[in-house]
């Protein structure tokens, strides 16, 4: 039997990248990560650090101890990038929002290397070809959509991974601003709270990403992660939380006009987070029909994968 594909993860110490690495290791894929000599200096939102307390140095040491191959390189050093890509079969990028457009450098390196079976660009959110988001999120989604068009124009084999809402951003605070645990007294709900959203733990995003990487049927398709137990309205999630803590929260429903005004007046990262919440909770950007010719619904393609439910995730905060 042929061995599993070799996987290179770019951005391996980020909020999603680290989970993709661990899922690849667990699945038995030979796993490689590209490591820069100088780590990034961008300040991360409190929600990100709360969900991912492990430091970059600790992660890299743990990767190495687990048999991950660490390759020194930089996306701005074309030759080092080409050399890294030539060692693998699949490239998965998990760069943050500030580096989305820089993926053209990865595409160029993939083209030169000439050996990559599939490229996963940095998506890991809502489907950027199906959204009605407002700024500052819209700009990032449009950048991701542009990268899709470059990939397709260059004939690079791909898989797009649409996982919607990370639990670390959307659930650990029940989509509230400036807190990192679910509220116990009152909650602000965008709109009427009845719009379906799709929620995923970051670890499960990693698991499904590697499932798709090892699935030949996912070639040149978008994989959508809307898992049945986690495809819920915010009202349904709040109800789950209330049952766990044995208390009814005061609910303050915020009309869209007020949400849009707050987004304009807030600074980063709160304006960005609020725009993400608005995209899913009011605009319904996780509600759409898929096209079997170019889309895969993960819950149907990989029904054997056990994932963390919203109900289970909230238990840690009780």
Q: Which residues are catalytic?
A: 144
Q: Cα separation of 231 and 225, whole Å?
A: 9
Phi, psi of 158 (to 5 degrees): -145, 165
Q: What is 42-95 written as a DSSP string?
A: PPPPHHHHHH--S-HHHHHHHHHHTTPEEEE--TTSHHHHHHHHTT-SEEEE--
Which residues, other chains included, contact 223 with Cβ-Cβ below 8 Å and sequence gap of 6+? 159, 160, 161, 162, 208, 212, 295, 296, 298, 301
What's the DSSP call for residue 5? P
Q: Cα separation of 200 and 299, whole Å?
A: 12
**Long-range Cβ contact pairs of 255-260 (< 8 A, separation 24 or more):** 255/191, 256/190, 256/191, 256/282, 259/190, 259/191, 260/134
What SS3 class is residue 232? strand
């Amino acid at each position: 039997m042929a061995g599993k594909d070799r996987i290179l993860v770019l951005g391996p110490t980020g909020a999603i990248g680290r989970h993709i690495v661990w899922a690849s290791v667990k699945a038995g894929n030979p796993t490689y990560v590209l490591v820069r000599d100088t780590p990034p200096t961008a300040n991360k939102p409190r929600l990100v650090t709360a969900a991912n307390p492990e430091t970059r140095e600790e992660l890299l040491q743990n990767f190495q101890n687990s048999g991950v191959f660490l390759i020194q390189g930089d996306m701005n050093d074309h030759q080092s990038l080409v050399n890294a890509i030539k060692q693998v079969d699949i490239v998965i990028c998990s760069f943050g929002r500030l580096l989305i457009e820089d993926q053209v450098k990865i595409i160029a390196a993939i083209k030169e290397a000439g050996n990559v079976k599939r490229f996963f660009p940095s998506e890991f959110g809502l489907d950027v070809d199906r959204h009605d988001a407002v700024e500052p999120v819209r700009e990032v989604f449009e950048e991701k959509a542009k990268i899709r068009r470059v990939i397709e124009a260059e004939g690079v084999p791909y898989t797009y991974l649409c996982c919607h809402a990370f639990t670390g951003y959307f659930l650990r605070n029940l989509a509230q601003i400036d807190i990192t645990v679910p509220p116990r007294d009152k909650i602000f709900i965008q709109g009427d709270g009845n719009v379906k959203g799709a929620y995923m733990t970051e670890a499960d995003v990693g698991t499904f990403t590697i499932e798709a990487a090892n699935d030949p049927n996912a070639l040149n398709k978008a994989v959508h992660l809307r898992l049945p137990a986690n495809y819920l309205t915010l009202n349904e999630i709040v109800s789950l939380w209330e049952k766990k803590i044995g208390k009814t929260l005061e609910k303050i429903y915020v009309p869209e006009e007020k949400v849009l005004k707050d987004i304009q007046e807030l600074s980063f990262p709160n304006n960005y987070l609020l725009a993400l919440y608005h995209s899913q909770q009011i605009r319904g950007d996780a509600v759409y029909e898929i096209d079997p010719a170019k889309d895969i619904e993960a819950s149907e393609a990989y029904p054997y994968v056990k994932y963390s439910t919203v109900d289970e995730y909230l238990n840690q905060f009780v």
